[in-house]
Chain A
């Protein structure tokens, strides 16, 4: 079954406590290359059959209205991922 992947991130200007805690911990384990971490959410919407433009549009609307909170989050990516073996 094809899946539509939706990635949601906190808006850039919104504080991300999760990312902040992680970036603070990375150097303690020797990972020094990363100056910032932002933690997001990934949703996978499975579709029975082909992903039509209409279904993709539905996914986009669901992403904007339900999967994300437009007050604090952005939908940064909506893409179709082919069936996996």
Chain B
């Protein structure tokens, strides 16, 4: 396993903002559940978590944004379908598509929101076994060149919790072919496919690599004792990756 660099290991002042000044926004919608967990992961990685409210009209100058998991608006219409129309989402979409390439990570419901907002292609439907599934899941890092995966080795296997009801990733064959051809499949499920996702896809990125979405929950694998197998911290790399990115490394 690749050792995840801790904040103290980074040399200061290599361009970009100093690390302790990195401000990462965590968006809360009505029905968001894992916002505190995402904020904790940001803090554990050494950056500052900034609370963002779905109704805000400004990103408050954050350096990156995490859209955490949950059931925004109960996911009653479709997962993420109502949340994508939140005022803040328009700002996030603009910033992600701008030259500044704001790093955006969508986890679980956040991934669903990003697909509804068309920042990422495809969609999620109900798991093929029709049940909510919570388990520790092995993922393969297929692309370690994104803003959120550069702390991992390509091909590395990591274990993070998976927990969802609507986690089956689908897209048309053309889109799937394109995603694979462009190296935009960021993660695949290893072992038994937990939900019927096409081509075992667990997470994808946009073409520029600043926007990443995945169904499993890296923010629940950042503290030993509270993650997979009582010890797992494989998820921390997401949060240190974005610090690398912000430092100007990528």
Contacts and interface: CB of A to CB of B under 8 A. Distances in A.
Interface of A: 17-18, 21-22, 24-25, 28-29, 39
Contacts of B74: 17-18, 21
B85 A18 contact: no
A84 B85 CA distance: 35
Contact of B85 (A17, A21, A25): A25
Given A28-B85, A39-B76, 10 more contacts: A18-B74, A18-B77, A22-B76, A22-B77, A22-B82, A25-B77, A25-B82, A25-B85, A29-B85, A39-B77
A27 to B, nearest CB: 11
Contacts of A28: 85
Contacts of A17: 74, 76
B78 to A, nearest CB: 10
Interface string B58-85: 0000000000000001101100001001
Contacts of B77: 18, 21-22, 25, 39
Interface in B4-61: none
Nearest to A22: B77
Contacts of A25: 73, 77, 82, 85
18 contacts: A17-B74, A18-B74, A18-B76, A18-B77, A21-B73, A21-B74, A21-B76, A21-B77, A22-B76, A22-B77, A24-B73, A25-B73, A25-B77, A25-B82, A25-B85, A28-B85, A29-B85, A39-B77
Contacts of B76: 17-18, 21-22, 39
Interface string B79-95: 00010010000000000
Nearest to A37: B77
Contacts of A22: 76-77, 82
A43 to B, nearest CB: 16
A84 to B, nearest CB: 22
Nearest to A28: B85
